[in-house]
Amino acid sequence: MTNANAYAAFERSFAVNAARPALEIDLNHSCTYAQLHRETARCAAALNSFGLQRGDRVAVQVEKSPQSLFLYLACLRAGFVFLPLNTAYQLAELAYFLTDALPALVVCTPAAEGGVRQVVRTSNSSARVATLDGSGGGSLAEVVREASARFKTEMMAPDELAVIIYTSGTTGRSKGAMLTHHNLISNASTLVESWGFNNRDVLLHALPIFHVHGLFVANHCALLSGAKLIWRPRFDAGATLADLRQATVMMGVPTYYTRLLAEPDLTPEACANMRLFISGSAPLSLDSFREFRVRTGHTILERYGMSEAGMITSNPLEGERRGGTVGLPLPGVSVRVAGHQEQPMPPGEPGAIQIQGDNVFAGYWRNPSKTREEFTADGWFRTGDMGVFDRDGYLSIVGRAKDLIITGGYNVYPKEVELVIDTMPGVVESAVVGVPHPDFGEAVTAAVVLDGGAEAPSESAVIAHLKSQLANYKVPKRIHFVSNLPRNTMGKVQKNLLREQLAGRPAQNNSESPA
């Protein structure tokens, strides 16, 4: 029987690439795949010494470091369920995850240890607590140091749980998406194939590793193909420019690209060694897409995915990468855009994005009713995103279903309005939301960030421009100029926060009767 443990697939690649570099940490520190494999063995043995049982959850809220990667891989290897937590979560939020996931071990930073122990006590949890700091020290590191470097990777079935990843929870309570070993490895193999990864690649990794993008997409592509990871604790535009000189692939959220564009040294020469720039987790603006091509000669490849399903669609490696779209369904992933009765919508007509495939998760942790709700009767997962296919099968995201605005009985897709505002001179970006309105139910409302230059439009100029481009019911009743949009760590605009912020503000003068 073959071992379906995701680590077993990585291990086969490590055997071939044992002497090749796995991680470059800084000028003086790097490790080969053979060393990485030994470190994960030590870490897995250390976890066993805490008395964990197969299937136990290990909640991890630590800074990004090589050891944090070893810890993730050790959990896979030993059959424990890895539960990454955003480093921004406060103790009160942690209490929710601990009572919901009931981990057997919590690994936190030494600075957070006192608070975490307190939370563990008050939430009646029997979890053990260990620490890991950003430079690889802490109580867990001490146990790892003493542990054996021999460890036999656990045999796992394809549908056994590998990771629980809590959704960002921008609306309502965050839910634990359960991902199996097969979910992870099937998606990783597809990406390696689709994006042409091989062991001569050098992947610049400046993403956080508590989220699918940095934890799965970037790590798995490198580990499975034997590529080298340039391992950076966080993104810094200046440092990235220097790193690009030896990297071949970069993965980033759109904010990384806009920050790189603000650097005068972003030139074709700076990117001469690169073969591929990939963007995802939030929409890349057409402006950034185009400007990046002009400045560097590279066309950013945009892809789309989510915690519950890994990667879903991607622009092609070979062939046209179409700006403003998230590309085509990945091999093995079926995507449909469905109307109210779940009927497939024709190209050009927006609807709900639903998916099927080996990448789709096993359900929400301890929440079967929510799981049932999110699957259609014929077995498709409702992503919660709204999208539209063009005639060539490229998908564009038009917003989250819950962000759809219904104003006076008409549906307004925020993205359509944002795209028009964003093309105006002097506008950096915009976000359109619906706020409660006594007549319309919801009033279309825009938050606009200006560049502060001479071309910056007035409120009436934005409204007049929109009226010339869009049906009147889509034109915002209010335009608010803001200095920036509220975003989470992955660069996603937090529309729920924006709605709250804009709801109480005084209106401007574009009132029409509802439909």
Shortest Cβ distance from residue 186 to ligand AMP (Å)?
18
Report the alpha-carbon distance of residue 273 to residue 359 in Å, rounded.
32
Does 457 help bind ligand AMP (rule: CB under 6 A)?
no
Shortest Cβ distance from residue 167 to ligand AMP (Å)?
5
Does 168 help bind ligand AMP (rule: CB under 6 A)?
yes
Q: Which member of 400, 428, 482, 489 binds ligand AMP (CB under 6 A)? A: 400
Select the span of 66-74, 106-114, 266-274, 279-287 touching ligand AMP (CB under 6 A): 279-287
Shortest Cβ distance from residue 468 to ligand AMP (Å)?
27
Bridge-based pairing state of the strands 29-32 and 21-26: antiparallel
Please report how many Cα atoms fall inside a 13 Å half-sphere around the Cα of residue 294, on the Cβ side: 7
Q: Which member of 397, 432, 435, 479 binds ligand AMP (CB under 6 A)? A: 397
Shortest Cβ distance from residue 286 to ligand AMP (Å)?
12
Shortest Cβ distance from residue 215 to ligand AMP (Å)?
10
Does 11 help bind ligand AMP (rule: CB under 6 A)?
no
Please, which residue, 153 or 281, has the CB nearer to ligand AMP? 281
Select the span of 237-245, 261-269, 275-283, 386-394 touching ligand AMP (CB under 6 A): 275-283
Q: Which tokens hold the place of 350?
A: 């927006």
Residues 396, 402, 406, 407: what is their CA dihedral angle, to the nearest 10 degrees?
A: -100
Report the alpha-carbon distance of residue 362 to residue 398 in Å, rounded.
26
Conformation bin of residue 37: beta by default, left when phi > 0, alpha when psi is -120 to 50: alpha
Please, which residue, 388 or 463, has the CB nearer to ligand AMP? 388
CB 201 within 8 A of CB 228: yes
Q: Which parts of 31-60 interact with ligand AMP (CB under 6 A)?
A: none
Please report how many Cα atoms fall inside a 13 Å half-sphere around the Cα of residue 510, on the Cβ side: 22
Select the span of 305-313, 315-323, 340-348, 438-446 touching ligand AMP (CB under 6 A): 305-313
Report the alpha-carbon distance of residue 366 to residue 364 in Å, rounded.
6
Report the alpha-carbon distance of residue 134 to residue 443 in Å, rounded.
46
Does 117 help bind ligand AMP (rule: CB under 6 A)?
no
Please, which residue, 101 or 212, has the CB nearer to ligand AMP? 212
Please, which residue, 136 or 280, has the CB nearer to ligand AMP? 280
Does 212 help bind ligand AMP (rule: CB under 6 A)?
yes
Report the alpha-carbon distance of residue 292 to residue 278 in Å, rounded.
12
Q: Which tokens hold the place of 45?
A: 């043995």
Q: Which tokens hold the place of 459?
A: 């409120």
The residues near 38 (Cβ < 8 Å, ≥ 6 apart) are 149
Report the alpha-carbon distance of residue 68 to residue 70 in Å, rounded.
5
The residues near 373 (Cβ < 8 Å, ≥ 6 apart) are none
Select the span of 59-67, 298-306, 317-325, 418-426 touching ligand AMP (CB under 6 A): 298-306
- What are the residues facing 90 on neighbouring strands? none
Q: Which member of 32, 87, 167, 494 binds ligand AMP (CB under 6 A)? A: 167
**Type of residue numbered 69:** L
Report the alpha-carbon distance of residue 364 to residue 356 in Å, rounded.
16
Shortest Cβ distance from residue 114 to ligand AMP (Å)?
30
Please, which residue, 36 or 395, has the CB nearer to ligand AMP? 395
The residues near 262 (Cβ < 8 Å, ≥ 6 apart) are 237
Q: Which member of 21, 66, 208, 280 binds ligand AMP (CB under 6 A)? A: 280
Q: Which parts of 372-391 interact with ligand AMP (CB under 6 A)?
A: 383, 385
Shortest Cβ distance from residue 435 to ligand AMP (Å)?
21
Which has the closest alpha carbon to 219: 184, 253, 246? 184
Please, which residue, 30 or 167, has the CB nearer to ligand AMP? 167
The residue count for binding ligand AMP (CB under 6 A) is: 18
Does 327 help bind ligand AMP (rule: CB under 6 A)?
no
Residue 41's CB is within 10 A of a number of other CB atoms, namely 23
Q: Which member of 18, 143, 241, 282 binds ligand AMP (CB under 6 A)? A: 282
User: Applying CB under 6 A, which residues contact ligand AMP?
Assistant: 167-168, 212, 280-283, 302, 304-307, 326, 383, 385, 397, 400, 490
